[in-house]
Amino acid sequence: MKLFECVPNISEGRDVAIVDACAAAIVAAGAVLAHRTSDPDHHRSVLTYFGDATTAVNAALALARITATRIDLRSHAGEHPRIGALDVLPFVPLGTATMDDAVAVARDAAARIWQETGVPSYFYGAAATREEHRQLPGVRSGGFEGLATRAQRGVRPDVGDIEFHPGAGAIAIGARPLLIAFNVVLGTGEVAVARKIARVIRESTGGLRSLRALGIALGSERSQVSCNITDADALPLDRLFDLVQRLAQRFGVAVIESELIGLLPRQAAARVVARRFGMREGSIAPPP
């Protein structure tokens, strides 16, 4: 049996009832819901589930039905970029499953979601049909509000029609390797500081390989460096934290806390422990 991880991001982080309904829909479809987290400032929730190809697609479809009917982006405002009510839907191959298998699952999910909910999709990652959509920021360029303009310029969804479901926007559906989502919270409401740090560390502006980063406001006294590590082998988590902390100190700002969004690969956790305590990574035994 080929297994997949799916990590849907939905544009709802404040209404617990809606997030509960999304989680329940995933479980009712037969998938294993492993984790969920919500952020009211981002106005976003991230859920992590596992299943075989059929179950993974069925759970995605069940989730899309909920988000299309209960989330309307025309009245949505949050700090995190988004193009859809069900904003991101990545499929990650596990075990014997290949990236080609994950691409097939992603495309099956996009077709079924369009047929049954009328919500269109753009493909990204290994499933991308345009080179500029290999990376997720390329798909989300212009945000929800810019979808119609992009479509008029010829950047139409890979599946479906952008005008059909104006409140739900579009979904970025992809196939990708394991990813680590990690945020560092700064003790300043000056989001410019978080944005300057993000600009220094992210790969696209000359920083660390495999790192995407944004500076996000979290109210009057805090801000956040929001990070995605796309290759855990290329960038140990503790190295990233130490770098953000050193850069924050240059601005006279303290790091309040850090947070992991979703799950962390066992190897990545072992690498942090080994580096911190001077151990060989292979000497850290996995749990029974």
Give the pLDDT confidence of 24-81 residue by residue, as tens digits.
999 999 999 999 999 999 999 999 999 999 999 999 999 999 999 999 999 999 999 9
Give the separation between CA 4 and CA 121, rounded to whole angstroms: 20
pLDDT score of 278 more than 70: no
Q: How confident is the model at residue 270 (pLDDT cuts 50, 70, 90)?
A: confident
Mean pLDDT of 190-219: 95
Structure tokens at 39: 């952020």
Q: Which amino acid is at 89?
A: L
Structure tokens at 55: 């179950």
CATH number of 3-175: 3.30.990.10
Where are the chain's structural domains?
A: 3-175, 180-283
Give the separation between CA 236 and CA 153, rounded to whole angstroms: 40
Residue 163 backbone dihedrals phi, psi, to 5 degrees: -80, -10
Instruction: Give the pLDDT confidence score for residue 232 in this predicted structure.
Output: 78
3-class state of residue 142 by DSSP: coil
Residue 86 near residue 67 (C-beta atoms within 8 A): yes
What are the residues facing 70 on neighbouring strands? none
Does the pTM surpass 0.75? The reply is yes
Contacts of residue 272, Cβ cutoff 8 Å, sequence gap at least 6: 236, 237, 238
Structure tokens at 160: 């479906």
Mean pLDDT of 100-106: 98
Residue 133 is among the residues annotated as catalytic for this protein: no
Specify the fold of 180-283.
Alpha-Beta Plaits (3.30.70)
Any idea what DSSP says for residue 204?
A: G
Q: How confident is the model at residue 190 (pLDDT cuts 50, 70, 90)?
A: very high
Computed over every residue of the chain, the mean pLDDT equals: 93
Tell me the per-residue pLDDT of 207-245, one tens digit each, with 9 for 90 and over: 999 999 999 999 889 999 999 999 878 888 999 999 999
Tell me the per-residue pLDDT of 149-183, one tens digit each, with 9 for 90 and over: 999 899 999 999 987 788 999 999 999 999 999 99
Q: What is the H or E stretch that residue 174 is in? A: strand 171-175
The residue from 42, 80, 133, 165 that is catalytic is 80
Instruction: Give the pLDDT confidence score for residue 116 in this predicted structure.
Output: 96
